[in-house]
Amino acid sequence: MEEIILKAENMFKEFGATKAVSDVTLELRKGCVLGLVGENGSGKSTLSSMIAGVYPPTKGVMTYKGEEYRPKSVLDARKAGIQYLTQEQGTIDGMTVAENMFLGEEDQMSKMGNVSIKKLNLLARKILDENGMNYVNPKAMVETYSFEDRKMIETARALSHQPAILIIDETTTALSQKGRERIYEIIFEQKKAGTAIVIISHDLDEVQKLCDEVLIMRDGVYVDTLKGDEINAHNMREKMIGRTMEGSYYRGDFECTYEDEVVLEVKDLSVWGIFSDVSFELHKGEILGIGGLSECGMHELLKTVFGAIRPTSGSVTLVQNQVALKNTTVSVKNKVAYIPKDRDKESLFQPTSIKDNIVASSYDKIKKGFFIKPSDEKKLADEQAKKIEVKMQNIEQLIRDLSGGNKQKVVIAKWIANESQIFIMDCPTRGIDIGVKAKIYKLMDTLKHEGISILMVSEEMMELIGMADRIITMKDGRLSKEFTRSKDLSESTIISAIV
Amino acid sequence: MNKLLETIKNYALSVIMPVIMIILLLIVSPETRSANAIISLLRQGFAPAVLGWGVLFNMKAGNWDFSIGARFVLGSILAGNLAMSLHLGMPGFIVLALVISLVLSTIVGFAYKLLRIPTLIVSIGICLIFESITRILYGGAGVHVSSEYMLFGKSPYDVIAFAVCFGIAAYIYYKRKLGYNVRAVGTNPVVAQTNGINAVTTKTNALIVSGLFAGLYCILSLSKTGVCAAVSGTLGSAATVFDAMMCVLIGMAICGKGNIIFSLYSGALIAQILKMGMMAIGLPTTYNKVVIALFVILFMVSSTRGDVFDGLKNRLFHKTKTV
């Protein structure tokens, strides 16, 4: 057994009345990779945040390298040798790559309080080179690089400190396969170097591939630790949601079961430099999936269909009433819903309540003359939130306090409340645990059977195969192939059409 | 060679824009067509740029500070009158102006830190108090300094003083930790906080540092005009704040990858030329203000809503436009 480098015993964290973590103990060992898994809101990020100095624990003792450890801040933890990589962007626009790499640590590069830019750039150059990033200019503004490069800059910064503990909190979620592979390489290298690694991920295959041990949490409480052969997707899934999951959580049938009626027609749609000449039809009661590499233009295509991006040429038409979807107002008015990939930034009003978010697109529906009765607002929000099983204290709870999965439920509830007939979904289960995922798939199936049409982009091949009636693939901004729902359709067949 | 080209590219707009404005002014106002007039024009931008640097620290840190004008007026009245009554001379006046300005800005900074309410509200509240004090002190007569205290209004002292102020601003903004922290907190307070930067402390420090530039502005401004009148107590000092903000907004819009301290001087110059140009063509004061206000909005849009201009550019060149 490897040497224990950090022990967190009987950890508790409470946010007001919410118990985020209750009595959890974990051990991190030198050169070992520990997976932290659990549904959204299970407390895994809160637990790792306490180790990384983001939050102080409400109760509990941490021992690091044999001594009591109480980080006052992230910087404090970082100085002690604990690095924390998150899913969100950790670099700041308007500053150079080098400035970002030493953010909060300028003192190291200072003499009498004067920051040496030359020293800053030189050291950044050295670190970038050591991490195979010689194409990155430390003097360049960080915003000139892609999200993925920026994530790798953060990673290089973290590694430059030769961490004793490296926490990777859903970092791979937003990365392409290439980016993920690079993170996996780093994990293996760091493991060899004796770093204790914590991985938080919803990708159970990834967890299985990388981890020596997996600690499972549910509702803030420790459930079990899996080791060796016990680490497999089935075991983890069962312990995460606390019940046996029979078979697959996708659609059970393998038939194309949509109606002949075309509800939406996309004709020769192009956005200069992004995608060209895209044409397809969406039928009543159909789930039409679109797959491709992240940069192939599929995300922008959905935005264009919804009217959030103005196309250079082509048209999007609602067939029944021959309405052209020219902007988002027309779309919403005509019962077209859009669920974006980034729900936090593009879909939710974070500082407001669940109620306000659910009724946001339904005021026309509930207004009586010039007035909107608060009781009607409350009734509508309450009905929808309960129908879709949002885990909440009440509908007045603030959106920002919900977990990712529950936020997504609110987004969907908002459009159901609006009685939308066409759902445009961009990666509807991104960053969501399997419990909520299963519920969303079930809901999509229900909507389909109610005659509602769904246009869905997904970066998960299995999601497309499991849910869509038809799958259209995109490559370099153009449609490349179309597949019909079938039992024999495999991931490799689709991948060959998109790569 | 590449480095030189890069530098030229970075500063191009900050140099070209004032040059174009000067040419336009020369066209509409024949009396400005002399070397002396142009040099005098370049000097017009000194004082507003200095106050603008103070405002820059605040705006970059995400502070909306409407008290800087009132602080300048109160600082000028106190420092000028005290220096004269105590016969302290120019050195004493400089020290007093800086110390009083820093004290006043520290009051604003700590009020913000203590109350933890938006800087906009704190600064307006304190602005009203400071403005009222200017009406109480010295019977509301303001200050009228003797020529002894107007050293930096004359050449070459004004250039020297401006160069020193420029050096201080660039040093704090680009070389001190505070400069880094201000930029980080202003752009993304969450990430800054995650990196161990205390957002509230940084915003407080930015407010305090702006006091240093308000003090320097007192010295330059009084040196130039010799007079500073008390203000109304109903945000009468707001014009000073808006003028400085305009310099910052223009500076930010034309800065690109260049030095913002330099660009802000260009911004101050452009603002001054705009005012002079409007006077030259005989535009009534009311319209004059309308034009200035329109320019403020235009530059505000260009510096904070880059997407509007990108969208316009993209539409012209058939690229994507987010609605």
Q: Are residues A307 and A423 in the same domain?
A: yes
| Same-domain check for residues A174 and A48 | yes
Q: Encoding tokens for residue B312?
A: 């316009």
Q: Which of A185, A211, A241 is the last residue of a domain?
A: A241
pLDDT tens figures, B16-25: 988 998 888 8
Q: List CB contacts of B55: < 8 A, sequence separation 6 or more.
A: B65, B68, B210, B213, B241, B244, B245, B247, B248
pLDDT at B48: 93
Establish if B302 belongs to a structural domain.
Answer: no
Residue A247: per-residue pLDDT: 52
Which residue has better confidence, A420 or B300? Answer: A420
Residue at a domain's end among A212, A241, A270: A241
Q: Which residues of chain A have a CB within 8 Å of the CB of B319?
A: 272-273, 312
State how far the alpha carbon of B45 is from the alpha carbons of B18, B50, B162, B249, B281, in Å.
11, 9, 10, 15, 20
For residue A104, the chain B residues in CB contact (below 8 A) are 192, 195-197
- The per-residue DSSP string of A389-415 comes to T---S-TTSBGGGS-HHHHHHHHHHHH
Query: How distant is the Cα of A486 from the closest Cα of chain B, in angstroms?
Result: 36
Smallest CA-to-CA distance from A269 within B268, B17, B320 is with: B320
Structure tokens at A187: 């994990």
Confidence band for A61, pLDDT divided at 50, 70 and 90 = very high
How much is the pLDDT for A17?
60
Report if residue A199 sits inside a domain: yes
| Same structural domain, A270 and A385 | yes
Residue A450 to residue A257: CA distance in whole angstroms: 12
**CA–CA min distance B181, chain A (Å):** 8
Report how many Cβ contacts below 8 Å link chain A to chain B. 89
Q: Which residues of A touch B315 (CB under 8 A)?
A: 310
With respect to residue A452, please indicate whether it lies within any of the assigned structural domains: yes
Q: Are residues A219 and A355 in the same domain?
A: no
Task: Check whether residue A274 and residue A232 sit in a common domain.
Answer: no
Amino acid at A344: D
B99 pLDDT above the threshold of 70: yes
**In the numeric block, which tokens belong to residue B43?**
């000097």
Q: What count of other Cβ atoms lies within 10 Å of the Cβ of residue A192?
A: 9
Q: Do A106 and B321 touch (CB under 8 A)?
A: no
In terms of domains, do A405 and A452 share one?
A: yes
Contact B261, B308 (CB under 8 A): no
Cα-flanking dihedrals φ and ψ of residue A220, to 5°? 80, 0
CA A362 to chain centre: 27
- A421: distance to nearest CA of chain B, Å? 23
List residues in chain B touching A: CB distance below 8 A. Answer: 171, 174-177, 180, 183-184, 186-188, 190-192, 194-197, 257, 314-315, 317-323
CB-closest option in B197, B257, B320 to A271: B320
Q: For residue B236, report the phi and psi dihedrals to the nearest 5 degrees.
A: -65, -20
Q: What is the pLDDT of residues A388-429, one digit of tens each?
A: 888 888 888 888 878 778 888 999 999 999 899 999 999 998
The pLDDT of A227-247, averaged and rounded, is 76
Residue of A nearest to B311 (CA): A310
Examine residue A249 and state whether it is found in any structural domain, yes or no.
Answer: no
Report the alpha-carbon distance of residue A390 to residue A409 in Å, rounded.
6
Q: Is position B233 within any domain? A: yes
Which residues on chain B are in Cβ contact (under 8 Å) with A76?
196
Question: Would you list the DSSP string of A130-156?
Answer: HTT-TTS-TTSBGGGS-HHHHHHHHHH
Q: How far is CA B249 from CA B60, B121, B312, in A?
A: 11, 21, 20
Interface residues of A toward B, Cβ cutoff 8 Å, are 54, 73-76, 78, 86, 88-95, 99, 103-107, 110, 113-115, 117, 141, 271-274, 300, 307-310, 312, 327-328
What is the residue whose two structure tokens read 């991490």? Answer: A131
Q: Specify the pLDDT at position B11.
A: 84
Three-state SS at A14: strand
Shared domain check, A408 and A270: yes
Measured in whole angstroms, the distance separating CA A91 from the mean position of its chain's CA atoms is: 18
Instruction: Point out the residue among B171, B257, B323 whose CB comes nearest to the CB of A327.
Output: B323
Q: Can you tell me the mean pLDDT for B68-92?
A: 95
| Chain B residues closer than 8 Å to A328 by CB | 323
Q: Is residue A363 assigned to a domain?
A: yes
Q: Cβ atoms within 10 A of the Cβ of B131, count?
A: 24
Residue A330, CB half-sphere, CA atoms under 13 Å: how many?
16
Kindly state whether residue A474 falls inside one of the protein's structural domains. yes
Residues A110 and A220 placed together within one structural domain of the fold = yes
CA atoms within 13 A on the CB side of B138: 19
**Total number of domains in chain B:** 1
Q: Give, in degrees to the nearest 5, the angle at Cα A333 between A328 and A337.
A: 60
Single-letter amino acid, residue B112: Y
pLDDT of residue B162: 95
Q: pLDDT-derived band of residue A285, with 50, 70 and 90 as boundaries?
A: very high
The per-residue pLDDT for range A79-133, each reduced to its tens digit, is 899 999 887 778 888 889 999 998 888 877 888 878 888 999 999 999 999 888 8
For residues A78 and A227, membership in a common domain is answered with yes
DSSP label of A371? B
B310: confidence class by pLDDT, cuts 50, 70, 90? low
- What the block records as the tokens of A226 is 């899996």
Task: Indicate whether B317 pLDDT > 80.
Answer: no
DSSP string, A20-65: EEEEEEEEEETT-EEEEEESTTSSHHHHHHHHTTSS--SEEEEEET
Boundary residue ending a domain (A241, A271, A290): A241
The C-alpha angle A325, A327, A328, rounded to 5 degrees, equals 100
**SS3 label, residue A190:** helix
pLDDT value at residue B305: 64
How close is the nearest chain B Cα to the Cα of A203, in Å? Answer: 25
Q: Evaluate whether residue A255 is within a structural domain.
A: no
**Mean pLDDT in residue range A261-281:** 94
Range of the domain at A270: 262-498
Domain count, chain A: 2
Side-chain-side CA neighbours of B222 within 13 Å: the count stands at: 32
The amino acid at residue A146 is S
Write down the pLDDT at residue A360: 87
Between A147 and A336, the higher pLDDT residue: A336
| Nearest one of B34, B13, B20, B16 to B277, comparing CA atoms | B20
CATH number at residue A169: 3.40.50.300
Band (pLDDT 50/70/90 cuts) for residue B311 is low
Examine the pLDDT at B190 and tell me if it is beyond 80. Answer: no
| CA–CA distance, A306 with A424 (Å, rounded to integer) | 7
DSSP state of B102: H
Provide the residue range defining the domain that includes B128: 2-280
Q: Which residue of B has its CA nearest to A116?
A: B175
Is residue A268 within a helix (H) or strand (E), and if so which, with residue range? strand A262-271
Q: Which of A106, A110, A150, A295 to mutate to test the interface with B (most CBs of B within 10 A)?
A: A106
Angle between helix axes B177-187 and B46-61 (nearest 10 degrees) is: 60
Q: Looking at residue B250, which CATH number applies to its domain?
A: 1.10.3470
Point out the least confidently predicted range of A105-119, A174-188, A254-268, B293-307.
B293-307
Mean of per-residue pLDDT scores for chain B: 87
What's the rounded Cα separation, in Å, for the pair A40 and A29? 26
Q: Is the pLDDT of residue B205 over 50?
A: yes
Q: Can you give the pLDDT at residue A106? A: 81
Q: Which of B174, B184, B314 sits opposite A92 (nearest CB)?
A: B184
Say whether both A356 and A442 belong to one domain.
yes
- pLDDT over threshold 90, residue B79: yes
Q: 3-class DSSP state for residue A283? A: strand
Per-residue pLDDT, A435: 77
B226 backbone dihedrals φ, ψ, rounded to 5°: 80, -10
Q: What is the pLDDT of residues A15-28, one digit of tens each?
A: 766 678 999 999 99
The verdict on residue B313 lying in a domain is no
- Of all residues in chain B, the one with the smallest CA distance to A53 is B194
Q: Quick one: A210 and A282 in the same domain?
A: no
Confidence of residue B304 (pLDDT cuts 50, 70, 90): low
Confidence of residue A2 (pLDDT cuts 50, 70, 90): confident
Same domain, A280 and A313: yes
